[in-house]
């Protein structure tokens, strides 16, 4: 059985935990309303006013003039994410992080040690609450797709269990928009077919879906049957390490996209170093408002786990991809991701006999990363921040799955 653990309003919840006087008050985490600041996270009190993530802060302020605006503290959130991940590893080594606030866990082989999947899910929720003061929603299901849907159904503080014998019964009443890849455009196309629920989609033939949706047709058909054969892949076994995020409102500002690229790259690089891996190929992924998706990659002269080297390549790829997409009239961006592949075990490199400026920069950045990782590991707070992350936080956009 698979667990999908998703922290509820992660950034805002951390701020409420750290400052109890904020509990019950409308709070957002995000940028200034004076510039191009946006809402990175909104607590449940402010959502009642119609405020949501990725909304311009100025708009949110008009909807809720008395809301409290707090700056993004990404390094602090990352340290707490690491603490939560350590809880996961108590129960299973099969942990696949998706972002700072969510992960898949395969607990199939853990029954004799900790009980069934539902029991493990309850224990993880309790451990997170007791040790961090935060609330997690958990979906328990036979596969990743079903577990992710389940975790989102009864937020906040959800625990939804999908009986393997009742998968179709679970899926059929749900709106078709719950399927991965069904957005506004695809949803309208399904409405034209008379499809509003997953159950109605399931009744259509595979051939009909292929004719209507092309290569995505089989993808929708399989999900409607509850089929998802993907396994949980921990970092140590991964052929690549990546992070991506989906925005609740599409973004057309490349500077906002750069802000997210910084955060995603930090996560990827730290995971590489944590598992003693280096990678040779950097890749970015962009999904547009019409759900078309492109990837761009570049192979480095030598493998690396250095944050700055990965980030520079990812930013170059973003600039090129963004420029070419604009030239073809493509839509704004709803998802961005960054990853590193061509992984190998990290190993010390023999120093060069003669001074090489590039090599010197590489060694210096690697040493800085090691120190930064050690400080964050020890203190578990925002003791260190990459300057570019701090500088860019005022213009940060928001995740769809920060719920």
Residues with a catalytic annotation lie at 102
DSSP letter for each residue of 94-147 = -EEEEETTEEEEE-GGGHHHH-SHHHHHHHHHHHHHHHHS--EEEEEESSHHHH
The string over 26-61, giving b where at least 16 C-beta atoms fall within 10 Å of a residue's C-beta and e elsewhere, is: bbbbbbebeebbbbbbbbbbbbebebbbbbbbeebb
Q: What is the DSSP letter of 204?
A: S
DSSP letter for each residue of 339-359 = EEES-EE--PPPPPSS--HHH
Rg (CA), the chain: 22
Tokens standing for residue 136: 């997690």
Pairing relation of β-strands 68-70 and 27-30? parallel
- CA separation for the pair 142, 228 (Å, rounded): 9
Q: Are 307 and 269 in contact (CB under 8 A)?
A: yes
Task: Report which of 244, 176, 246, 245 is spatially closest to residue 216, judged by C-alpha positions.
Answer: 176
Pairing relation of β-strands 68-70 and 159-161? unpaired
First-to-last C-alpha distance (Å) of the chain: 23
Q: Are 251 and 322 in contact (CB under 8 A)?
A: no
**Ramachandran area for residue 18 (φ above 0: left; ψ -120 to 50: alpha; else beta):** alpha
């Amino acid at each position: 059985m698979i667990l999908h653990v998703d922290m509820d309003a992660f950034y805002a919840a951390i701020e409420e935990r750290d400052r109890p006087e904020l509990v019950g008050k409308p709070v957002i985490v995000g940028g200034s309303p004076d510039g191009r600041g946006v809402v990175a996270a909104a607590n449940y009190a402010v959502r009642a006013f119609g405020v949501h993530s990725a909304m311009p802060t100025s708009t949110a302020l008009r909807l809720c003039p008395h809301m409290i605006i707090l700056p993004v503290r990404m390094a602090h959130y990352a340290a707490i994410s690491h603490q939560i991940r350590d809880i996961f590893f108590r129960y299973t080594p099969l942990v696949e992080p998706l972002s700072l606030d969510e992960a898949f866990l395969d607990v199939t082989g853990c029954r004799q040690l900790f009980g069934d999947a539902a029991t493990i899910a309850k224990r993880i929720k309790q451990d997170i609450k007791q040790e961090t003061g935060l609330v997690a929603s958990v979906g328990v299901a036979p596969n990743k797709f079903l577990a992710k849907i389940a975790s989102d159904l009864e937020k906040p503080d959800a625990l939804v269990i999908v009986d393997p014998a009742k998968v179709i019964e679970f899926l059929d009443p749900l709106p078709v928009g719950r399927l991965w890849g069904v957005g506004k455009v695809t949803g309208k196309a399904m409405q034209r077919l008379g499809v509003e629920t997953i159950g109605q989609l399931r009744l259509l033939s595979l051939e009909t879906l292929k004719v209507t949706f092309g290569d995505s047709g089989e993808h929708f058909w399989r999900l409607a049957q509850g089929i998802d054969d993907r396994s949980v892949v921990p970092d140590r076994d991964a052929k690549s390490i990546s992070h991506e995020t989906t925005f609740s409102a599409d973004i057309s500002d490349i500077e906002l996209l750069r802000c997210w690229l910084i955060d995603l790259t930090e996560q990827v690089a730290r995971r590489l170093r944590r598992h003693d891996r280096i990678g040779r190929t950097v890749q970015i992924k962009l999904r547009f408002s019409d759900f078309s998706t492109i990837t761009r990659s570049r192979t480095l002269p030598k493998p690396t786990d250095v944050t700055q080297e990965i980030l520079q390549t990812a930013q170059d790829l973003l600039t090129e991809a963004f420029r070419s997409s604009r030239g073809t009239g493509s839509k704004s961006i709803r998802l961005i991701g960054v990853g590193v592949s061509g992984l190998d075990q990290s190993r010390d490199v023999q120093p060069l006999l003669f001074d090489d400026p590039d090599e010197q920069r590489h060694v210096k950045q690697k040493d800085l990363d090691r120190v930064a990782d050690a400080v964050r590991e020890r203190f578990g707070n925002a003791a260190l921040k990459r300057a570019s992350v701090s500088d860019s936080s005022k213009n940060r956009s928001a995740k769809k799955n920060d719920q």
